[in-house]
Amino acid sequence: MGKHVIRYLHYSRTIEKQLKVFRRSGQTGSLAAEQYQMLVNLIRQGELLSESVYTKRTKHGEYRLSNCVKYDLGNGYRMVTIRVGQDLFIPFIGSHDETDKWLDRRKHDEYSSNDPSYIRDEIILADESVLHISQKISEQQNENCIEPDLYEQQLAERLDDSVLREVFGSLYRK
């Protein structure tokens, strides 16, 4: 079995509770919950590198945690995944801001396949040679991808000098 193959999916036991919160929060939350289910189902079928899953990665990537990939669930919602060998962990889903805070708090966490706070599923394996080729293609695409995240772009457009001075007032000198 190659090093690029994901064998097990581990998702946090808190995910189901968060999905209920999403669904109760209105249409945008419900759509994010549906997007999460679709992505997880594809990953369970060994489709981690398929176009359907790959195109949902956030454009900026994630540098606070090694082997971490964030996925865009739509309308500012995110799913965090962390790969450890042949294990893929889904420790968190939430709004863009909640995800940012979670990543800051959890950047030193360690992930173990026998952690009781995760539910473990075996992934249906696809042909290993296809996965290896897909991995190389996705690495090349990831290196070339510098498009800004739509949500972050919208936030940046709303910032002006007066907002920045208010937020960073102590650093601003007159």
- Predicted confidence (pLDDT) per residue in 118-127, tens digit: 999 887 665 5
Q: Which tens digit of pLDDT belongs to each residue from 94-114?
A: 999 999 999 999 988 999 999
CATH number of the domain enclosing 121? 3.30.2310.20
Longest Cα separation, the chain:
63
Confirm whether 169 is domain-assigned.
no
- Domain of 133 in residue numbering reads as 8-145
Structural domain contains residue 103: yes
Q: Considering the domain boundaries, does residue 68 fall inside one?
A: yes
- Calculate what percentage of the chain has a pLDDT beyond 70: 68
In a domain, 86, yes or no: yes
> In this structure, is residue 12 part of a structural domain?
yes
- pLDDT band, residue 140 (cuts 50/70/90): low
SS3 at position 83:
strand
154 occurs within a structural domain: no
Total structural domains within the chain: 1
- Residue 103's pLDDT is what? 92
User: What pLDDT shows up at residue 151?
Assistant: 65
Establish if 38 belongs to a structural domain.
Answer: yes
Split at pLDDT 50, 70, 90, the class of 55 is: confident
> Predicted confidence band at 73 (pLDDT cuts at 50, 70, 90)?
very high
Poorest-pLDDT segment among 68-72, 97-101, 126-130: 126-130
Q: How many CA atoms does the CB half-sphere of 29 hold within 13 Å?
A: 12
Q: Give the pLDDT score at 130.
A: 46
The answer to whether residue 37 is domain-embedded is yes
